[in-house]
Amino acid sequence: METQEQVLSMPRIGDKAPSFTAVTTQGDINFPQDYTGKWIIFFSHPADFTPVCTSEFMTFASMQDEFEALNTQLVGLSVDGLYSHIAWLRTIKEKIEYKGMKNVEVTFPLIEDITMNVSKQYGMIQPGESSTKAVRAVFFIDPKGVVRTIIYYPLSLGRNFDELKRVIIGLQTADAYEVALPADWRPGDDVIVPTAGSCGVAKERMESTDEDQTCYDWFFCTKKLAKEKVDSLRVK
């Protein structure tokens, strides 16, 4: 008799982040309720005591203050047990020096997910890549508990941390100033204004002499947004 594998629908952009309770290296958490009012980077890694994951955790921990300045909390997960997590993080702090990082202490929570319940709930188990390890998933969740961006990496490729930080800054900027952001946007670059919703607005934009606005065509206009305004969104 064939057994039917349970198929779970992973959250999509715009969905509420699925709730769960979990044991972590920083105690029990209720997710995402414990982080209401903050942005969250919720990420998975394949396994403790592995080189790519070690390089990533050292980088996450070294950048933790930068993320906290952006009102962003880090929450990690793998299918390893709590004691494996604790031993691995202790090894990182006491023994590993990498790219100038040493004595790195990981103080953000790392979830124990031996049952894979949370991993499956968030689509972190990708059977084509591995049925026993989580891939490198990253969920960006806003202060209202809504999934805003999802990025997946395979087991063999470490994450781009400049991009993770850029995504958080970009989402906060787009929300605060009601704009969109072009390819490769960085704070201080021009931003995209909402597409004209009428012929009249389109005509006004194309004929505008506003030096802070550039229109390439009626549907594609940008305006200046000073880096200082973007930086002002950081937690003081």
Rounded to 5, what percent of the chain is helix, strand, coil? 30, 25, 45
Q: Which two tokens stand for residue 221?
A: 């206009």
Query: For position 112, what pLDDT does the model report?
Result: 98
Instruction: Break the chain into its structural domains and give their ranges.
Output: 20-159, 178-231
- The superfamily (CATH) of domain 20-159 is Glutaredoxin (3.40.30.10)
The residues annotated with a catalytic role in the active site are 53
Positive or negative, the Cα torsion across 135, 140, 146, 152?
Answer: negative
Amino acid letter, 89: L
Give tens-digit pLDDT for 9-36. 789 999 999 999 999 999 999 999 999 9
Give tens-digit pLDDT for 124-153. 999 889 988 999 999 999 999 999 999 999
CATH level 2 (architecture), domain 178-231: 2-Layer Sandwich (3.30)
Q: Which two tokens stand for residue 15?
A: 């969905």
Residue 161 CA to residue 57 CA, distance in Å, equals: 11
